[in-house]
Chain A
Amino acid sequence: MSLDPLLDPGTVPRRYVVTGGPSAGKEAVLDELHARGIPATDGEPAREIYRRHRDRLGRHLQVGDRRAYSRDVLEAFVAEYCGHTSGLRFYNRGIPDGYGWDAFFGLGPYPELEEAARIYRYDAVFILDPLDDFDSEDDLVFAKDREIRRVHELIIQGYYDAGYRPIFVPADEPGRRVSFMLAQLPVPAT
Protein backbone atom coordinates (compact mmCIF):
# COMPACT_ATOMS: atom_id res chain seq x y z
CA MET A 1 0.00 0.00 0.00
CA SER A 2 1.32 3.41 -0.88
CA LEU A 3 1.62 5.76 2.04
CA ASP A 4 1.37 8.82 -0.13
CA PRO A 5 -2.35 9.44 0.45
CA LEU A 6 -1.78 9.22 4.19
CA LEU A 7 1.25 11.48 4.10
CA ASP A 8 -0.56 14.10 2.05
CA PRO A 9 -0.59 17.18 4.28
CA GLY A 10 -3.90 18.13 2.80
CA THR A 11 -5.68 15.24 4.50
CA VAL A 12 -7.33 15.28 7.88
CA PRO A 13 -5.04 14.61 10.84
CA ARG A 14 -4.55 10.97 11.75
CA ARG A 15 -2.84 10.18 14.99
CA TYR A 16 -1.34 6.86 16.00
CA VAL A 17 0.25 6.01 19.32
CA VAL A 18 3.27 3.77 19.68
CA THR A 19 3.64 2.62 23.24
CA GLY A 20 4.65 -0.23 25.52
CA GLY A 21 6.75 -0.88 28.54
CA PRO A 22 10.46 -0.26 28.72
CA SER A 23 12.47 -2.74 26.65
CA ALA A 24 9.63 -3.11 24.17
CA GLY A 25 11.78 -1.62 21.41
CA LYS A 26 9.89 1.64 21.06
CA GLU A 27 12.93 3.77 20.25
CA ALA A 28 13.99 1.49 17.43
CA VAL A 29 10.49 1.55 15.93
CA LEU A 30 10.35 5.35 16.08
CA ASP A 31 13.81 5.56 14.53
CA GLU A 32 12.60 3.33 11.73
CA LEU A 33 9.57 5.56 11.18
CA HIS A 34 11.84 8.59 10.96
CA ALA A 35 14.15 6.76 8.57
CA ARG A 36 11.19 6.12 6.29
CA GLY A 37 10.22 9.78 6.37
CA ILE A 38 7.04 9.15 8.31
CA PRO A 39 6.13 11.96 10.72
CA ALA A 40 6.64 10.85 14.30
CA THR A 41 7.50 12.29 17.68
CA ASP A 42 11.11 13.35 17.94
CA GLY A 43 12.50 12.14 21.27
CA GLU A 44 10.22 11.69 24.24
CA PRO A 45 8.88 14.86 25.85
CA ALA A 46 8.23 13.05 29.13
CA ARG A 47 11.95 12.40 29.54
CA GLU A 48 12.90 16.06 29.47
CA ILE A 49 10.07 16.96 31.84
CA TYR A 50 11.24 14.22 34.19
CA ARG A 51 14.81 15.54 34.12
CA ARG A 52 13.57 19.08 34.76
CA HIS A 53 11.60 17.93 37.80
CA ARG A 54 14.58 16.06 39.20
CA ASP A 55 16.85 19.04 38.62
CA ARG A 56 14.40 21.41 40.27
CA LEU A 57 13.85 19.12 43.28
CA GLY A 58 17.48 18.08 43.57
CA ARG A 59 16.40 14.55 44.35
CA HIS A 60 14.23 11.74 43.09
CA LEU A 61 10.49 12.29 42.79
CA GLN A 62 8.54 11.48 45.92
CA VAL A 63 4.88 10.74 46.56
CA GLY A 64 3.89 14.40 46.68
CA ASP A 65 5.79 15.30 43.50
CA ARG A 66 4.34 12.76 41.13
CA ARG A 67 1.04 14.43 40.40
CA ALA A 68 2.76 17.65 39.32
CA TYR A 69 5.04 15.66 37.03
CA SER A 70 2.05 13.81 35.63
CA ARG A 71 0.22 17.06 34.91
CA ASP A 72 3.23 18.53 33.10
CA VAL A 73 3.53 15.43 30.94
CA LEU A 74 -0.18 15.55 30.18
CA GLU A 75 0.14 19.17 29.15
CA ALA A 76 2.97 18.26 26.77
CA PHE A 77 0.97 15.37 25.30
CA VAL A 78 -2.05 17.62 24.73
CA ALA A 79 0.14 20.29 23.13
CA GLU A 80 1.69 17.71 20.81
CA TYR A 81 -1.76 16.37 19.95
CA CYS A 82 -3.17 19.80 19.18
CA GLY A 83 -0.06 20.90 17.29
CA HIS A 84 -0.71 18.30 14.63
CA THR A 85 -3.33 19.53 12.24
CA SER A 86 -3.04 17.50 9.05
CA GLY A 87 -1.80 14.20 7.70
CA LEU A 88 -0.35 11.22 9.45
CA ARG A 89 1.66 11.22 12.67
CA PHE A 90 2.92 8.60 15.08
CA TYR A 91 3.25 9.55 18.72
CA ASN A 92 5.82 8.32 21.20
CA ARG A 93 3.33 7.36 23.91
CA GLY A 94 -0.08 8.97 24.23
CA ILE A 95 -2.28 10.66 26.77
CA PRO A 96 -3.62 7.39 28.30
CA ASP A 97 -0.05 6.38 29.20
CA GLY A 98 -0.75 8.66 32.17
CA TYR A 99 -3.11 6.03 33.55
CA GLY A 100 -0.28 3.49 33.58
CA TRP A 101 2.11 5.97 35.17
CA ASP A 102 -0.31 6.82 37.96
CA ALA A 103 -1.31 3.20 38.51
CA PHE A 104 2.34 2.18 38.84
CA PHE A 105 2.54 4.43 41.87
CA GLY A 106 -0.84 3.42 43.25
CA LEU A 107 -2.41 6.74 42.26
CA GLY A 108 -5.89 7.04 40.83
CA PRO A 109 -6.56 8.97 37.64
CA TYR A 110 -7.21 12.69 38.10
CA PRO A 111 -9.95 14.74 36.40
CA GLU A 112 -7.72 16.50 33.86
CA LEU A 113 -6.35 13.18 32.65
CA GLU A 114 -9.83 11.67 32.38
CA GLU A 115 -11.04 14.69 30.46
CA ALA A 116 -8.05 14.77 28.11
CA ALA A 117 -8.32 11.02 27.46
CA ARG A 118 -11.96 11.58 26.50
CA ILE A 119 -11.45 14.64 24.31
CA TYR A 120 -8.17 13.95 22.53
CA ARG A 121 -8.67 10.64 20.78
CA TYR A 122 -6.09 8.81 18.71
CA ASP A 123 -7.03 6.88 15.60
CA ALA A 124 -5.26 3.75 16.79
CA VAL A 125 -2.89 2.56 19.46
CA PHE A 126 0.00 0.22 18.74
CA ILE A 127 1.36 -1.60 21.75
CA LEU A 128 4.75 -3.14 21.19
CA ASP A 129 4.99 -6.57 22.71
CA PRO A 130 8.09 -7.03 24.85
CA LEU A 131 11.10 -8.10 22.82
CA ASP A 132 12.23 -11.69 23.00
CA ASP A 133 15.28 -10.74 25.05
CA PHE A 134 13.02 -9.16 27.65
CA ASP A 135 14.15 -11.64 30.27
CA SER A 136 17.56 -12.45 28.93
CA GLU A 137 20.33 -12.71 31.47
CA ASP A 138 21.96 -9.47 30.35
CA ASP A 139 18.73 -7.58 30.48
CA LEU A 140 17.39 -5.62 33.37
CA VAL A 141 17.84 -7.25 36.72
CA PHE A 142 14.43 -6.06 37.70
CA ALA A 143 12.76 -7.55 34.69
CA LYS A 144 12.80 -10.83 36.54
CA ASP A 145 11.23 -9.10 39.48
CA ARG A 146 8.27 -8.32 37.27
CA GLU A 147 8.73 -4.57 37.53
CA ILE A 148 8.93 -4.03 33.79
CA ARG A 149 6.09 -6.40 33.11
CA ARG A 150 3.91 -4.49 35.55
CA VAL A 151 4.64 -1.23 33.77
CA HIS A 152 3.80 -2.82 30.43
CA GLU A 153 0.54 -4.31 31.68
CA LEU A 154 -0.53 -1.12 33.44
CA ILE A 155 0.02 0.86 30.24
CA ILE A 156 -2.16 -1.63 28.36
CA GLN A 157 -4.83 -1.44 31.05
CA GLY A 158 -4.77 2.36 30.77
CA TYR A 159 -5.65 2.20 27.09
CA TYR A 160 -8.48 -0.24 27.70
CA ASP A 161 -9.70 2.02 30.50
CA ALA A 162 -9.70 4.90 28.05
CA GLY A 163 -11.88 2.91 25.67
CA TYR A 164 -9.25 1.87 23.11
CA ARG A 165 -8.71 -1.51 21.63
CA PRO A 166 -4.96 -1.61 21.16
CA ILE A 167 -3.25 -3.39 18.33
CA PHE A 168 -0.45 -5.57 19.64
CA VAL A 169 2.71 -5.48 17.58
CA PRO A 170 4.62 -8.76 17.85
CA ALA A 171 8.25 -8.77 18.88
CA ASP A 172 10.31 -8.53 15.74
CA GLU A 173 13.02 -6.46 14.19
CA PRO A 174 12.04 -2.76 13.84
CA GLY A 175 11.59 -2.78 10.07
CA ARG A 176 9.11 -5.62 10.16
CA ARG A 177 7.29 -4.08 13.11
CA VAL A 178 6.86 -0.82 11.23
CA SER A 179 5.68 -2.68 8.14
CA PHE A 180 3.17 -4.52 10.31
CA MET A 181 1.91 -1.25 11.76
CA LEU A 182 1.63 0.42 8.38
CA ALA A 183 -0.33 -2.56 7.09
CA GLN A 184 -2.95 -1.84 9.74
CA LEU A 185 -3.47 1.74 8.63
CA PRO A 186 -6.64 2.61 6.78
CA VAL A 187 -6.74 3.73 3.22
CA PRO A 188 -8.17 7.23 3.38
CA ALA A 189 -11.38 7.81 1.52
CA THR A 190 -10.79 9.96 -1.52
Chain B
Amino acid sequence: MFLARPQLSFAVLGIFWLPMWAFSGYLCDTGVMKARGTRSTAADALTAEIRVLVRAGLPVRAEACGTALLGLRGVKARAVRPEDAGSRARALDGLLREQLDRFENTGLAVAARLLFGAEPVTSGATLTARRQAAAAAAGYEVHHFRKRVEPKVLDLVAWQLRRDSEEFTARHASPPELRASSGPLMLPADVFAWEAAEHQHVLASLWGAVYQLRAELLTVARLASMDAPERETGNAAAAALWRHAQVLAAAARYRAAYGAVLLHTAADLGPQEIAGYAGWTPPLTAAQELLLAGIADPAQSLADFSTRLDAAAGGAGLAAMWRRALSGRDGGHEQESTTP
Protein backbone atom coordinates (compact mmCIF):
# COMPACT_ATOMS: atom_id res chain seq x y z
CA MET B 1 0.00 0.00 0.00
CA PHE B 2 1.24 3.43 -0.79
CA LEU B 3 1.66 5.40 2.39
CA ALA B 4 2.87 8.71 1.06
CA ARG B 5 0.88 11.65 2.33
CA PRO B 6 1.85 15.25 1.85
CA GLN B 7 1.21 16.12 5.44
CA LEU B 8 4.11 13.91 6.44
CA SER B 9 6.32 16.64 5.06
CA PHE B 10 5.45 18.84 7.98
CA ALA B 11 6.71 16.24 10.37
CA VAL B 12 9.92 15.94 8.39
CA LEU B 13 10.34 19.68 8.58
CA GLY B 14 9.78 19.64 12.28
CA ILE B 15 6.57 21.61 12.02
CA PHE B 16 4.05 20.03 14.29
CA TRP B 17 0.56 20.67 15.43
CA LEU B 18 0.00 24.35 15.99
CA PRO B 19 -2.24 25.48 18.81
CA MET B 20 -5.41 27.34 18.03
CA TRP B 21 -4.02 30.65 19.24
CA ALA B 22 -1.42 30.49 16.50
CA PHE B 23 -4.16 29.94 13.95
CA SER B 24 -6.06 32.96 15.21
CA GLY B 25 -2.90 35.04 15.20
CA TYR B 26 -2.17 34.02 11.66
CA LEU B 27 -5.61 35.03 10.50
CA CYS B 28 -5.33 38.38 12.21
CA ASP B 29 -1.90 38.99 10.74
CA THR B 30 -3.02 38.25 7.23
CA GLY B 31 -6.13 40.31 7.49
CA VAL B 32 -8.40 37.32 7.17
CA MET B 33 -10.09 37.90 10.47
CA LYS B 34 -10.98 41.53 10.12
CA ALA B 35 -13.95 42.90 11.96
CA ARG B 36 -17.14 42.28 10.06
CA GLY B 37 -17.61 45.93 9.34
CA THR B 38 -14.30 46.22 7.58
CA ARG B 39 -14.58 43.16 5.39
CA SER B 40 -15.01 43.80 1.74
CA THR B 41 -18.16 42.70 0.00
CA ALA B 42 -16.11 40.75 -2.52
CA ALA B 43 -14.34 38.83 0.25
CA ASP B 44 -17.64 38.03 1.90
CA ALA B 45 -19.09 36.84 -1.40
CA LEU B 46 -16.16 34.52 -1.99
CA THR B 47 -16.39 33.01 1.48
CA ALA B 48 -20.16 32.61 1.08
CA GLU B 49 -19.64 30.74 -2.17
CA ILE B 50 -17.02 28.51 -0.59
CA ARG B 51 -19.55 27.73 2.14
CA VAL B 52 -21.97 26.56 -0.55
CA LEU B 53 -19.21 24.52 -2.13
CA VAL B 54 -18.44 22.77 1.14
CA ARG B 55 -22.03 21.58 1.41
CA ALA B 56 -21.62 19.54 -1.76
CA GLY B 57 -17.93 18.75 -1.20
CA LEU B 58 -15.34 17.88 -3.81
CA PRO B 59 -15.24 17.34 -6.70
CA VAL B 60 -16.32 20.82 -7.67
CA ARG B 61 -19.41 20.96 -9.83
CA ALA B 62 -20.18 24.02 -11.92
CA GLU B 63 -23.70 24.28 -10.53
CA ALA B 64 -22.34 24.56 -6.98
CA CYS B 65 -20.08 27.48 -7.89
CA GLY B 66 -20.92 31.14 -7.78
CA THR B 67 -19.60 33.84 -10.02
CA ALA B 68 -16.97 35.00 -7.52
CA LEU B 69 -15.29 31.60 -7.46
CA LEU B 70 -15.50 30.94 -11.18
CA GLY B 71 -14.45 34.52 -11.87
CA LEU B 72 -11.18 34.24 -9.95
CA ARG B 73 -8.32 35.11 -12.26
CA GLY B 74 -6.33 32.13 -11.06
CA VAL B 75 -9.23 29.88 -12.03
CA LYS B 76 -9.73 31.42 -15.45
CA ALA B 77 -6.04 31.28 -16.17
CA ARG B 78 -5.93 27.55 -15.39
CA ALA B 79 -9.09 26.60 -17.27
CA VAL B 80 -8.62 24.86 -20.59
CA ARG B 81 -11.63 26.76 -21.94
CA PRO B 82 -12.07 29.85 -19.77
CA GLU B 83 -15.35 30.71 -21.47
CA ASP B 84 -16.90 27.43 -20.33
CA ALA B 85 -18.22 27.21 -16.76
CA GLY B 86 -17.59 23.46 -16.62
CA SER B 87 -13.98 23.94 -17.61
CA ARG B 88 -13.56 26.63 -14.97
CA ALA B 89 -15.12 24.35 -12.38
CA ARG B 90 -12.56 21.66 -13.21
CA ALA B 91 -9.78 24.21 -12.88
CA LEU B 92 -11.21 25.34 -9.55
CA ASP B 93 -11.29 21.72 -8.38
CA GLY B 94 -7.57 21.33 -9.02
CA LEU B 95 -6.76 24.71 -7.54
CA LEU B 96 -8.80 24.02 -4.42
CA ARG B 97 -7.14 20.64 -3.89
CA GLU B 98 -3.76 22.28 -4.25
CA GLN B 99 -4.63 25.00 -1.78
CA LEU B 100 -5.90 22.40 0.68
CA ASP B 101 -2.68 20.42 0.23
CA ARG B 102 -0.81 23.66 0.94
CA PHE B 103 -3.16 24.80 3.69
CA GLU B 104 -1.48 27.60 5.58
CA ASN B 105 -2.57 26.41 8.98
CA THR B 106 -0.69 23.17 9.59
CA GLY B 107 -2.80 22.17 12.55
CA LEU B 108 -6.04 22.34 10.61
CA ALA B 109 -4.76 21.07 7.27
CA VAL B 110 -6.06 17.53 7.71
CA ALA B 111 -9.39 18.79 9.05
CA ALA B 112 -9.78 21.14 6.09
CA ARG B 113 -9.17 18.34 3.61
CA LEU B 114 -11.60 16.06 5.43
CA LEU B 115 -14.21 18.81 5.51
CA PHE B 116 -14.00 19.41 1.78
CA GLY B 117 -13.90 15.70 0.99
CA ALA B 118 -10.39 15.92 -0.47
CA GLU B 119 -9.31 12.88 1.54
CA PRO B 120 -10.44 9.45 0.31
CA VAL B 121 -12.01 8.70 3.69
CA THR B 122 -14.56 11.52 3.35
CA SER B 123 -14.76 11.77 -0.41
CA GLY B 124 -18.41 11.56 -1.44
CA ALA B 125 -19.64 11.64 2.16
CA THR B 126 -22.38 13.92 3.46
CA LEU B 127 -21.46 17.27 4.95
CA THR B 128 -22.42 15.93 8.39
CA ALA B 129 -20.06 13.00 8.05
CA ARG B 130 -17.26 15.15 6.65
CA ARG B 131 -17.70 17.68 9.44
CA GLN B 132 -17.61 14.98 12.11
CA ALA B 133 -14.40 13.57 10.67
CA ALA B 134 -12.87 17.04 10.42
CA ALA B 135 -13.83 17.97 13.97
CA ALA B 136 -12.40 14.72 15.29
CA ALA B 137 -9.16 15.21 13.40
CA ALA B 138 -8.80 18.74 14.75
CA GLY B 139 -9.66 17.66 18.27
CA TYR B 140 -12.86 19.67 18.62
CA GLU B 141 -16.41 18.85 19.54
CA VAL B 142 -18.42 18.92 16.33
CA HIS B 143 -20.72 21.85 17.22
CA HIS B 144 -17.80 23.97 18.35
CA PHE B 145 -16.01 23.06 15.15
CA ARG B 146 -19.00 24.04 13.00
CA LYS B 147 -19.56 27.36 14.76
CA ARG B 148 -16.04 28.49 15.59
CA VAL B 149 -13.46 26.64 13.54
CA GLU B 150 -15.15 25.94 10.23
CA PRO B 151 -15.75 29.64 9.40
CA LYS B 152 -12.06 30.31 9.95
CA VAL B 153 -11.10 27.41 7.71
CA LEU B 154 -13.34 28.79 4.96
CA ASP B 155 -11.93 32.29 5.46
CA LEU B 156 -8.42 30.98 5.10
CA VAL B 157 -9.30 29.02 1.96
CA ALA B 158 -10.83 32.17 0.51
CA TRP B 159 -7.74 34.17 1.42
CA GLN B 160 -5.46 31.60 -0.20
CA LEU B 161 -7.55 31.62 -3.37
CA ARG B 162 -7.45 35.41 -3.55
CA ARG B 163 -3.71 35.46 -2.97
CA ASP B 164 -3.22 32.89 -5.72
CA SER B 165 -5.17 35.03 -8.17
CA GLU B 166 -3.17 38.09 -7.25
CA GLU B 167 0.09 36.30 -7.80
CA PHE B 168 -0.84 34.20 -10.79
CA THR B 169 -2.03 36.53 -13.49
CA ALA B 170 -1.38 40.10 -14.37
CA ARG B 171 -4.40 42.31 -13.94
CA HIS B 172 -3.69 44.01 -17.23
CA ALA B 173 -1.05 43.95 -19.89
CA SER B 174 2.11 45.45 -18.51
CA PRO B 175 5.65 45.48 -19.86
CA PRO B 176 8.15 43.01 -18.44
CA GLU B 177 9.52 44.39 -15.22
CA LEU B 178 13.17 45.38 -15.22
CA ARG B 179 15.47 45.22 -12.25
CA ALA B 180 19.07 45.97 -11.50
CA SER B 181 21.12 42.82 -11.79
CA SER B 182 24.56 42.14 -10.44
CA GLY B 183 25.30 39.03 -12.45
CA PRO B 184 24.70 37.36 -15.78
CA LEU B 185 21.28 35.94 -16.51
CA MET B 186 21.46 32.18 -16.06
CA LEU B 187 18.68 30.00 -17.39
CA PRO B 188 18.21 26.42 -16.25
CA ALA B 189 18.50 23.84 -19.06
CA ASP B 190 14.77 23.28 -19.16
CA VAL B 191 12.36 23.45 -22.10
CA PHE B 192 9.83 25.34 -20.02
CA ALA B 193 12.48 27.92 -19.16
CA TRP B 194 13.48 28.18 -22.82
CA GLU B 195 9.91 28.72 -23.85
CA ALA B 196 9.25 31.21 -21.07
CA ALA B 197 12.39 33.09 -22.10
CA GLU B 198 11.36 33.05 -25.75
CA HIS B 199 7.94 34.38 -24.80
CA GLN B 200 9.56 37.14 -22.80
CA HIS B 201 11.82 37.91 -25.77
CA VAL B 202 8.89 38.36 -28.14
CA LEU B 203 6.94 40.28 -25.52
CA ALA B 204 9.89 42.55 -24.70
CA SER B 205 10.38 43.25 -28.42
CA LEU B 206 6.73 44.18 -28.72
CA TRP B 207 6.83 46.47 -25.71
CA GLY B 208 10.14 47.92 -26.89
CA ALA B 209 8.51 48.90 -30.17
CA VAL B 210 5.56 50.38 -28.28
CA TYR B 211 7.86 52.58 -26.19
CA GLN B 212 9.73 53.71 -29.32
CA LEU B 213 6.40 54.71 -30.83
CA ARG B 214 5.41 56.50 -27.66
CA ALA B 215 8.62 58.52 -27.73
CA GLU B 216 7.90 59.67 -31.29
CA LEU B 217 4.26 60.45 -30.55
CA LEU B 218 5.37 62.64 -27.65
CA THR B 219 7.78 64.46 -29.91
CA VAL B 220 5.06 65.12 -32.48
CA ALA B 221 2.74 66.41 -29.76
CA ARG B 222 5.47 68.66 -28.34
CA LEU B 223 6.36 70.08 -31.74
CA ALA B 224 2.72 70.71 -32.58
CA SER B 225 2.26 72.44 -29.22
CA MET B 226 5.32 74.62 -29.88
CA ASP B 227 4.00 75.47 -33.32
CA ALA B 228 7.25 74.19 -34.77
CA PRO B 229 8.00 74.47 -38.47
CA GLU B 230 5.81 72.18 -40.54
CA ARG B 231 8.71 70.25 -41.95
CA GLU B 232 10.02 69.49 -38.47
CA THR B 233 6.64 68.23 -37.27
CA GLY B 234 6.22 66.24 -40.47
CA ASN B 235 9.55 64.53 -39.97
CA ALA B 236 8.60 63.61 -36.43
CA ALA B 237 5.28 62.23 -37.68
CA ALA B 238 7.13 60.18 -40.30
CA ALA B 239 9.33 58.77 -37.56
CA ALA B 240 6.20 57.91 -35.58
CA LEU B 241 4.80 56.07 -38.60
CA TRP B 242 8.04 54.10 -38.88
CA ARG B 243 7.78 53.11 -35.23
CA HIS B 244 4.12 52.30 -35.62
CA ALA B 245 4.97 49.95 -38.47
CA GLN B 246 7.49 48.24 -36.20
CA VAL B 247 4.83 47.79 -33.54
CA LEU B 248 2.54 46.17 -36.11
CA ALA B 249 5.37 43.88 -37.25
CA ALA B 250 6.20 42.93 -33.65
CA ALA B 251 2.51 42.20 -32.98
CA ALA B 252 2.40 40.00 -36.08
CA ARG B 253 5.44 38.08 -34.85
CA TYR B 254 3.75 37.58 -31.47
CA ARG B 255 0.56 36.32 -33.11
CA ALA B 256 2.49 33.85 -35.25
CA ALA B 257 4.23 32.44 -32.21
CA TYR B 258 1.48 32.52 -29.59
CA GLY B 259 -1.86 33.27 -31.19
CA ALA B 260 -4.25 36.18 -31.21
CA VAL B 261 -4.39 36.81 -27.47
CA LEU B 262 -1.55 37.77 -25.17
CA LEU B 263 -0.72 34.81 -22.99
CA HIS B 264 -1.45 35.00 -19.30
CA THR B 265 -3.24 38.31 -19.14
CA ALA B 266 -6.53 38.58 -17.33
CA ALA B 267 -8.10 40.56 -20.13
CA ASP B 268 -8.30 39.03 -23.57
CA LEU B 269 -5.88 41.54 -25.04
CA GLY B 270 -4.51 41.08 -28.51
CA PRO B 271 -0.89 42.02 -29.17
CA GLN B 272 -1.92 44.73 -31.62
CA GLU B 273 -4.06 46.34 -28.91
CA ILE B 274 -0.90 47.03 -26.94
CA ALA B 275 0.01 49.54 -29.64
CA GLY B 276 -2.81 51.65 -28.23
CA TYR B 277 -0.86 51.90 -24.98
CA ALA B 278 1.65 54.16 -26.78
CA GLY B 279 -0.93 56.85 -27.34
CA TRP B 280 -3.47 57.84 -29.93
CA THR B 281 -2.60 57.10 -33.53
CA PRO B 282 -4.64 57.80 -36.67
CA PRO B 283 -6.99 54.92 -37.54
CA LEU B 284 -5.74 52.72 -40.37
CA THR B 285 -7.50 50.16 -42.52
CA ALA B 286 -6.55 46.50 -42.26
CA ALA B 287 -4.88 46.75 -45.67
CA GLN B 288 -2.81 49.73 -44.54
CA GLU B 289 -1.72 47.92 -41.38
CA LEU B 290 -0.75 44.90 -43.45
CA LEU B 291 1.28 47.13 -45.76
CA LEU B 292 3.12 48.77 -42.86
CA ALA B 293 3.84 45.49 -41.08
CA GLY B 294 5.09 44.01 -44.34
CA ILE B 295 7.70 46.68 -44.97
CA ALA B 296 8.79 47.18 -41.37
CA ASP B 297 12.14 45.65 -40.63
CA PRO B 298 13.65 46.27 -37.20
CA ALA B 299 17.13 46.17 -38.73
CA GLN B 300 16.42 48.96 -41.22
CA SER B 301 16.56 52.71 -40.76
CA LEU B 302 13.83 55.32 -41.04
CA ALA B 303 15.19 56.31 -44.45
CA ASP B 304 14.97 52.70 -45.70
CA PHE B 305 11.43 52.42 -44.40
CA SER B 306 10.37 55.70 -46.01
CA THR B 307 11.83 54.66 -49.35
CA ARG B 308 9.99 51.36 -49.28
CA LEU B 309 6.75 53.04 -48.23
CA ASP B 310 7.00 55.59 -51.04
CA ALA B 311 7.50 52.77 -53.51
CA ALA B 312 4.50 50.76 -52.28
CA ALA B 313 1.03 51.26 -53.79
CA GLY B 314 -0.86 53.72 -51.59
CA GLY B 315 2.17 54.25 -49.39
CA ALA B 316 2.68 57.97 -50.07
CA GLY B 317 -1.02 58.71 -49.53
CA LEU B 318 -1.00 56.77 -46.29
CA ALA B 319 2.00 58.72 -45.03
CA ALA B 320 0.43 62.08 -45.92
CA MET B 321 -2.83 61.17 -44.18
CA TRP B 322 -0.87 60.05 -41.12
CA ARG B 323 1.10 63.30 -40.97
CA ARG B 324 -2.00 65.45 -41.29
CA ALA B 325 -3.96 63.54 -38.71
CA LEU B 326 -1.15 63.32 -36.23
CA SER B 327 0.09 66.89 -36.43
CA GLY B 328 -3.40 68.36 -36.66
CA ARG B 329 -2.32 70.27 -39.73
CA ASP B 330 -3.81 70.29 -43.15
CA GLY B 331 -1.00 69.10 -45.32
CA GLY B 332 -2.79 69.80 -48.58
CA HIS B 333 0.10 71.70 -50.08
CA GLU B 334 2.89 69.53 -48.85
CA GLN B 335 4.51 67.00 -51.03
CA GLU B 336 2.99 63.50 -51.07
CA SER B 337 6.17 61.80 -50.03
CA THR B 338 7.24 60.13 -46.80
CA THR B 339 10.92 60.82 -47.25
CA PRO B 340 11.94 63.31 -44.55
Contact = CB atoms under 8 A, between A and B. Distances in A.
Interface of A: 21-23, 26-27, 44, 46-47, 50, 60-63, 100-101, 103-106, 108-109, 123-124, 137-138, 140-142, 144-151, 153-157, 160-161, 165-170, 180, 183-187, 189
Contacts of A157: 78, 91, 94-95, 98
Given A104-B195, A109-B80, A184-B8, A145 B258 contact: no
B178 interface: yes
B182 A138 contact: yes
Interface string B64-89: 00000000001001101100000000
Given A153-B78, A157-B78, A165 B97 contact: yes
B93 interface: yes
B101 A26 contact: no
B28 interface: no
A140 B77 contact: no
A22 B192 contact: yes
A165 B6 contact: yes
B176 interface: yes
Interface stretch (B183-191, B226-234, B306-314): B183-191
Contact of A141 (B179, B188, B257): B179
Interface residues of B, number: 60
A105 B257 CA distance: 10
A21 to B, nearest CB: 6
A103 B101 CA distance: 22
B98 A160 contact: yes
A20 to B, nearest CB: 9
A94 B79 CA distance: 20
Contacts of B185: 140-141
A104 B192 contact: yes
Given A61-B257, A138-B181, A184-B3, 19 more contacts: A47-B189, A61-B195, A63-B256, A101-B192, A103-B80, A104-B192, A104-B195, A104-B196, A105-B258, A140-B185, A141-B200, A142-B196, A146-B169, A146-B264, A165-B101, A166-B6, A167-B5, A169-B9, A189-B1
18 contacts: A22-B193, A60-B257, A63-B257, A105-B195, A105-B258, A137-B180, A144-B179, A145-B176, A146-B169, A146-B264, A147-B196, A151-B192, A157-B91, A167-B4, A167-B6, A183-B8, A184-B4, A189-B1
